[in-house]
Structure 1
């Protein structure tokens, strides 16, 4: 029996109790206890899958991701070191081009860049101003909880969450 079916059955029993004026018969009590027990068993099984299986896989995948990221970084560093090694050798020997069977390598002249000597002396025409507007949701929540009306916002209930220990 699925969790949805168990929940529906419990709801159905509770509705029957309400319709009978709130009278709990021994049969309805036993049936309610039976399905609450099934709900607890099913919940325990689901918690086992979450904690015992899925979270273990998540941890292993995170570790694998870290290993792959470290390997990727090592490969990128190796590539960069070899590029620098080749570039420095070409500069030292004043070699502008290497033509090989597989690849052609060209030492490109450096492009012009700016070197900042004192950024405090930058003329105003070269300064741009960026304005970032950010909604302070924590302050809004605090005001709403304190009973202060904030136009465009209202206090609502968040989602339930599950804690498995």
Structure 2
């Protein structure tokens, strides 16, 4: 191993990885580029996983920001609806049907008729629908256990994959 400190090597890799991430290159090109950067495989793996964790945290932060923005959007939408309801009430109270201005026209319009159920128990059964039963679902846990127990399940097989465990 060279006399470059792990800190300096990690900083170099982080810089290179960030540059690669910004380029939006195919995975095989990134792999080839990482191979050409040199350094021990263990160090590369550590730095690549560290960068992966950084991306996971970034994605988590973006998800939190999306949730906050959705909450804010809903609040703004609710406020807009309250303001429109306020204008509608003011127009109704003052018996004004229409207001025109250069940007838009306000008018009181009837909504389409809607059914309001006062007591569901009193509605005749002829007015109820019966949804079709859901189609049967494959029980993968049951198939897994059968295959593990040595039974043959046509159309199914056990597959053993691998993953990178980071603890």
TM norm. shorter chain > 0.5? yes
Q: How many residues align?
A: 134
Partner in structure 1 of residue 91 of structure 2: 90
TM-score normalised according to structure 2 size: 0.64
Partner in structure 2 of residue 46 of structure 1: 48
The whole-number CA distance in structure 1 between the counterparts of 2:93 and 2:65 is 42
Q: Greater Rg, structure 1 or structure 2?
A: 1
The equivalent position to 2:146 in structure 1, one of 143, 147, 163, is: 143
Alignment deviations for residues 90-145 of structure 1 (CA, whole Å, 9 cap, x no partner): 23223222112211012111321112233344333641423322333233323332
The equivalent position to 1:129 in structure 2, one of 128, 131, 138, is: 131
The whole-number CA distance in structure 2 between the counterparts of 1:96 and 1:143 is 71
The whole-number CA distance in structure 2 between the counterparts of 1:129 and 1:56 is 43
List alignment gaps of at least 5 residues for structure 2.
Answer: 1-29
List alignment gaps of at least 5 residues for structure 1.
Answer: 8-36
CA contact (8 A) 1:97 1:105 kept: yes
- Which structure's relative contact order is higher, taking Cα pairs within 8 Å and 6+ residues apart? 1
Partner in structure 2 of residue 102 of structure 1: 103
Alignment deviations for residues 60-93 of structure 1 (CA, whole Å, 9 cap, x no partner): 3223222322221121111111122122222322
TM-score normalised according to structure 1 size: 0.65
The whole-number CA distance in structure 2 between the counterparts of 1:40 and 1:86 is 67
Residues 150 and 110 (structure 1 numbering): CA distance in 2 closer, same or farther, change over 3 Å? same
Aligned alpha-carbon RMSD (Å): 3.0
CA contact (8 A) 1:144 1:154 kept: yes
